[in-house]
Amino acid sequence: MSNKVTAPELLDLALGIAHQAGELLMKRPLTFEVTSKSVAIDIATQMDRDSEKLIVDSLLAARADDGIIGEEGSARSSSSGITWVIDPVDGTVNYLYGLPGWSVSIAAKDDKGVLVGVVHSPTIGSTWTAIRGGGAFFNGQPIRCNDPIALDRALIGTGFVYDVSMRAGQGKVVSALLPQIRDIRRMGSAAVDICYVAMGAFDGYFEMGLKEWDLAAAQLVATESGARISTDSGDLTCCAGPSLYPRLIEVLDLGAS
């Protein structure tokens, strides 16, 4: 494949590889080799590493000059102008415990930002895709975020950082938010949660401590669905439809104060 490539071609490549990684991950091992990363409860398994290897090897077989940023340590500079951002298993704790909703996230970015994104969650039969400027899709069908939604009618997704020293503060934020909204859901995969906002399964989402590989593909899906998404200087990611977004930011700021 030439380095000169169209966005649809990049999306097709990412989509095919995401499905291959999903098939690999669905073959759950009888035992897991669990290693800790930043803290004891931030984990990876041999399947995270095997999935990343499959994704990286497949991408470089097709596009040897592209760059790589991977959660499990794959790093390679780009000479083509395209860099792939990979989360081989987003929601490793769900995966370890046999819970549904974990996902494979693959994005390609150029000098203008993320160009294409795929979030594939095989246990719930869900695949989200987006091309910059081309809209967002769920299982091939176009999607839009919910808008307008009032705060007191909003279903909000969230997650919690692995740094236990920050969890008391996160509890304070949830405590301030909960009386003002419809309800809260905690699904276990940041990429899926953000894509849920994109398709209207959630009205909003927030979480601390997300990394580029958590966000890259899902953020494009959300933006292309009409949602607003940002990460502030305090490392809080917030995503919602245009009318709910500023109100949610306001309430989260109050809860954190």
AA identity, residue 109: K
Domain co-membership, 100 together with 162: no
- Sign (positive/negative) of CA torsion 211, 202, 19, 10? negative
Q: What residue spans of the chain are helical by DSSP H? A: 7-26, 46-62, 92-97, 167-177, 190-199, 212-224, 244-256
Domain co-membership, 27 together with 115: yes
Please check whether residue 2 lies inside any domain of the structure: no
* CA nearest to 115, candidates 155, 163, 82, 150: 82
Interatomic CA distance for residues 141 and 4, integer angstroms: 28
Among 92, 112, 139, which residue terminates a domain? Answer: 139
Q: Is 2 exposed, middle or buried (0-12, 13-18, 19+ CB in 10 A)?
A: exposed
* CA nearest to 229, candidates 257, 195, 201: 195
Domain containing 177 equals 151-256
AA identity, residue 224: E
- What average pLDDT does the structure give for the chain? 93
pTM higher than the cut 0.85: yes
Domain co-membership, 91 together with 192: no
Domain co-membership, 160 together with 130: no
Q: Residue 39: what pLDDT?
A: 58
Interatomic CA distance for residues 128 and 40, integer angstroms: 31
Residue 71, pLDDT above cutoff 90: no
Domain co-membership, 17 together with 62: yes
pLDDT tens digits, one per residue of 145-203:
999 999 999 999 999 887 777 788 888 899 999 999 999 999 999 999 999 999 999 99
Among 139, 164, 182, which residue terminates a domain? Answer: 139
Domain co-membership, 125 together with 20: yes
Residue 73, pLDDT above cutoff 90: no
Domain co-membership, 236 together with 185: yes
Domain co-membership, 131 together with 181: no
Domain co-membership, 176 together with 109: no
Mean pLDDT of 222-241: 95
Domain co-membership, 11 together with 111: yes
Q: What is the dihedral of CA 235, 207, 85, 124, to 10 degrees?
A: 180
Angle ∠(90,159,115) on CA atoms, nearest 5: 50
Please check whether residue 20 lies inside any domain of the structure: yes
Query: How many independent structural domains does the chain possess?
Result: 2
pLDDT tens digits, one per residue of 107-136:
999 999 999 999 999 999 999 999 999 999
What CATH number does the domain containing 196 carry? Answer: 3.40.190.80
Binning pLDDT at 50, 70 and 90, where does residue 2 land? Answer: very low
pLDDT tens digits, one per residue of 25-58:
999 988 898 887 665 556 788 999 999 999 999 9
Domain co-membership, 101 together with 199: no
Residue 234, pLDDT above cutoff 90: no
Q: Residue 171: what pLDDT?
A: 87
pLDDT tens digits, one per residue of 190-223:
999 999 999 999 999 999 999 999 999 999 999 9
Among 115, 139, 163, which residue terminates a domain? Answer: 139
